[in-house]
């Protein structure tokens, strides 16, 4: 699940008080030879998805990586993450930070337009921020604006406006915070901006039900949606008024492809770009000989098995720890990933700062005996020799594992988990379903024992959206991204401390401590971080994917 795409801003960067500008670089002034070359280029690029978007094409309320793919090319943010993990200006012409580091000023590019021709203004940015602070807002981004001056009063209905948000003119907006807020610049500058003239006409509590507006979004990014066929594809056409120049390729298609057919589809030319991290190395090499190219980079999503901590059976940490010991996660990396990844032991990206030192956490090395002993200590043992453990009342440990279809590696991991837990007397029934169904049953209605999912994280390792008690909900129909409902006062305190300082060394200490606690508590079964690998048409130019921006430079993609 992906909260937002952000980048690390160190204290030295945040202390800048001068304006940092970045001129827009368009492609409209091509030479005659360039124009002639463009005329022979392919008019469309087909990008493969292994899981279908749900159709929630609004960045403020979307909650899946697959909808985020669509939103990333339809909407624009003030800044983007570049291929080195830094921030670069995008919709913003320039920005500045006050000396006390509590006020950020953004100046937008004046020529930006929405896909319906209306100008993009600072009022749209103000409306985007205000929407996230609305008490009836159902999305997951309130944390991003909570510390803006006056946002809490507005959220609680005590004020009609947010004092800290000021529109100076059509292209200038200032955002003032009550106190220092470490992720402020990254979180707000990389958020997709929505059009006020569209979404202000719809009650915010009804946004998720407004299928027409969601399926045919109006953004100001390089491409606009022309057709969405649920479960099959999304078609886009180039936005001629895009503020960085008309995209070089007139059509873009996101096509939902069965993972089993990706190799054939790439070879035949039916798709031009596809994720192949689940493909065998030998198959990738074979495609390389066909003229296709591949690129590897670290992913920002780790795989895990969620545990419903609301259930009495999982409130004993020894049961959760037993599961970690019983699953051979190293085998998953070696066999399923062919070594292209690493085991994780805390719900953070091991490639980034904030992840605890290996010597400070339990690696839960595969050990069936240890797992069985932990279950026995927790009161679960095979009392009648039928191969399944029971508690003192005779209740058997029979659990359901919900797994979304689409990722072959995730589905295979579920089977390995089922077989592993069987060895310690735990019966697992696997239920496969569409990702949208899983989201409804697990995230919205909290109806699960166990589930398989990937957690998409950001370069700024703020754990509040996933691990703060305020991010958990037990109310049916209300989404909470602390999905497992983990609550720990010490973790809450450490999270708050980490958000209140710009000193990265201090923040790192707080987050490492959080990682150690979550490692011991086994708030979910942490599996592995898989290396991302994309394969693409050998004639594709301008394709520069990176860990936090798979659609970097998309307006300059072209197949020649």
68-89 per-position pLDDT tens digit: 999 999 999 999 988 777 889 9
Q: Please determine, for residue 503, whether its predicted confidence score (pLDDT) is greater than 90.
A: no
Within a domain: 325: yes
Q: Per the domain annotation, does 455 fall within a domain?
A: yes
Domain membership flag for residue 287:
no
Instruction: Confirm whether 418 is domain-assigned.
Output: yes
Burial grade of 290 (CB within 10 A; 0-12, 13-18, 19 or more): exposed
Question: With pLDDT > 70 as the criterion, what percentage of the chain qualifies?
Answer: 93
Residue 30 lies in a domain: no
Q: What was the pLDDT predicted at 548?
A: 86
Mean pLDDT of 526-541: 95
pLDDT digits (tens, 9 = 90+) for 319-371: 999 999 999 999 999 999 999 999 999 999 998 889 999 999 999 999 999 99
Q: Token pair of 508, please?
A: 């790192």
Predicted local confidence at residue 17, as pLDDT: 31
What average pLDDT does the segment 163-183 reach? 94
Which structure tokens are listed for 39? 């005329």
Instruction: Concatenate the DSSP letters of all residues of 486-521 into one string.
Output: ---HHHHHHHHHHHS---HHHHHHHHHHHHHHHHHH
Mean pLDDT of 216-229: 97
In this structure, how many other beta carbons lie within 10 angstroms of the beta carbon of residue 280?
A: 11
Nearest to 559 by CA among 378, 291, 375, 225: 291
Q: Is 481 a domain residue?
A: yes
Q: Is residue 211 part of a domain?
A: no
pLDDT of residue 351: 83
Q: Does 519 reside within a domain?
A: yes
Return contacts of 473-476, CB within 8 angstroms, 24+ apart. 473/446, 474/310, 474/446, 476/444, 476/445, 476/446
The pLDDT value recorded for residue 79 is 95
Nearest to 407 by CA among 556, 527, 292, 235: 527
Q: Which comes out higher in pLDDT, residue 503 or 16?
A: 503
Residue with tokens 């390729």: 249
Instruction: Tell me the three state secondary structure of residue 544.
Output: coil
Check pLDDT > 90 for residue 212: yes
Closest CA to 227 of 249, 255, 194, 261: 255
Question: For 390-419, what is the mean pLDDT?
Answer: 94
DSSP for 24-76 reads ---S-S--HHHHHHHHTS-SEEEEEESS---S---TTT--SHHHHHHHHHHS-
Q: In this predicted structure, what is the pLDDT of residue 34?
A: 37
The CATH number assigned to the domain holding 340 equals 3.10.105.10
Q: In which band, very low, low, confident or very high, does the pLDDT at 24 lie, cut at 50, 70 and 90?
A: very low
Tell me the whole-structure pTM to 2 decimals: 0.74
In the predicted model, is pLDDT for residue 19 greater than 60? Answer: no
With a pLDDT cut of 90, the percent of the chain lying above it is 79
Structure tokens at 313: 């059976």
State residue 3's pLDDT score. Answer: 40
Structure-token match 């440990």, residue found: 397
Q: How many residues does the chain have?
A: 560
Specify the pLDDT at position 443.
Answer: 94
pLDDT value at residue 504: 83
Domain of 327? 299-532
User: Into how many domains does the chain fold?
Assistant: 1
Report the pLDDT value the prediction gives residue 81, as an integer from 0 to 100. 86
Mean pLDDT computed over every residue of the chain: 90
32 pLDDT above the threshold of 80: no
* Each residue's pLDDT tens digit, 111-170: 999 999 999 999 999 999 999 999 999 998 898 999 999 999 999 999 999 999 999 999
């Amino acid at each position: 699940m992906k909260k937002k795409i952000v980048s690390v801003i160190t204290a030295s960067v945040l202390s800048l008080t001068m304006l940092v500008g970045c001129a827009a670089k368009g492609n409209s002034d091509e030479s005659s030879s360039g124009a002639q070359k463009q005329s022979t280029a392919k008019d469309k690029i087909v990008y493969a998805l292994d899981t279908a978007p749900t159709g929630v094409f609004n960045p403020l309320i979307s909650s899946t990586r697959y909808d985020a793919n669509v939103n990333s090319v339809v909407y624009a943010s003030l800044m983007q993450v570049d291929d080195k993990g830094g921030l670069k200006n995008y919709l913003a012409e320039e920005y500045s930070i006050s000396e006390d580091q509590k006020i950020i000023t953004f100046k937008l590019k004046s020529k930006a337009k929405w896909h319906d021709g209306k100008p993009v203004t600072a009022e749209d940015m103000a409306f985007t921020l205000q929407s996230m602070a609305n008490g009836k807002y159902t999305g997951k981004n309130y944390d991003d604006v909570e510390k803006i001056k006056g946002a809490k009063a507005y959220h609680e209905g005590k004020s009609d406006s947010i004092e800290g948000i000021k529109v100076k003119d059509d292209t200038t907006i200032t955002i003032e915070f009550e106190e220092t807020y470490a992720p402020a610049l990254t979180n707000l500058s990389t958020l997709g901006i929505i059009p006020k003239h569209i979404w202000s006409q719809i009650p915010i509590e009804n946004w998720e039900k407004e299928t027409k507006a969601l399926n045919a979004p109006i953004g100001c990014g390089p491409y606009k949606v022309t057709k969405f066929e649920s479960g099959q594809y999304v078609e886009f056409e180039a936005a001629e008024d895009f503020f960085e120049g008309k995209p070089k390729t007139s059509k873009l298609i996101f096509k939902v492809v069965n993972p089993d057919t990706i190799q054939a589809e790439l070879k035949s030319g039916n798709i031009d770009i596809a994720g192949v991290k689940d493909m065998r190395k030998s198959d990738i090499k074979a495609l390389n000989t066909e003229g296709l190219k591949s690129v590897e980079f670290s992913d920002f999503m780790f795989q895990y098995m969620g545990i419903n901590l609301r259930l009495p059976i999982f409130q004993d940490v020894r049961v959760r720890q037993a599961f970690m010991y019983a699953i051979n996660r190293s085998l998953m990396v070696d066999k399923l990933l062919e070594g292209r990844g690493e085991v994780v032991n805390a719900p953070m990206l091991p490639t980034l700062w904030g992840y605890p030192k290996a010597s400070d956490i339990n690696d839960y090395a595969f050990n069936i005996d240890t797992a069985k002993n932990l279950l026995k200590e927790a009161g679960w043992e095979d009392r009648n020799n039928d191969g399944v453990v029971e508690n003192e009342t005779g209740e058997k440990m029979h659990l359901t594992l919900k797994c979304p279809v689409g990722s072959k590696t995730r589905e295979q991991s579920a089977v390995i988990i089922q077989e592993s837990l069987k060895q310690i007397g735990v019966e697992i029934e696997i239920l496969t379903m569409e990702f949208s169904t899983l989201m409804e049953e697990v995230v919205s209605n909290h109806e699960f024992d166990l589930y398989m999912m990937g957690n998409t994280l950001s370069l700024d390792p703020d754990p509040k959206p996933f691990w703060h008690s305020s991010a958990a909900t037990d109310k049916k129909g209300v989404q909470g991204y602390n999905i497992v409902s983990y609550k720990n006062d010490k973790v809450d305190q450490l999270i708050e401390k980490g958000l209140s300082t710009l000193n990265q060394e201090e923040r790192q200490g707080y987050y490492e401590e959080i990682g150690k606690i979550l490692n011991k508590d086994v708030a979910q079964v942490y599996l592995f971080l898989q290396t991302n690998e994309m394969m693409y048409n050998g004639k594709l130019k301008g394709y520069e994917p990176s860990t936090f921006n798979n659609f970097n430079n998309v307006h300059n993609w072209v197949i020649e």
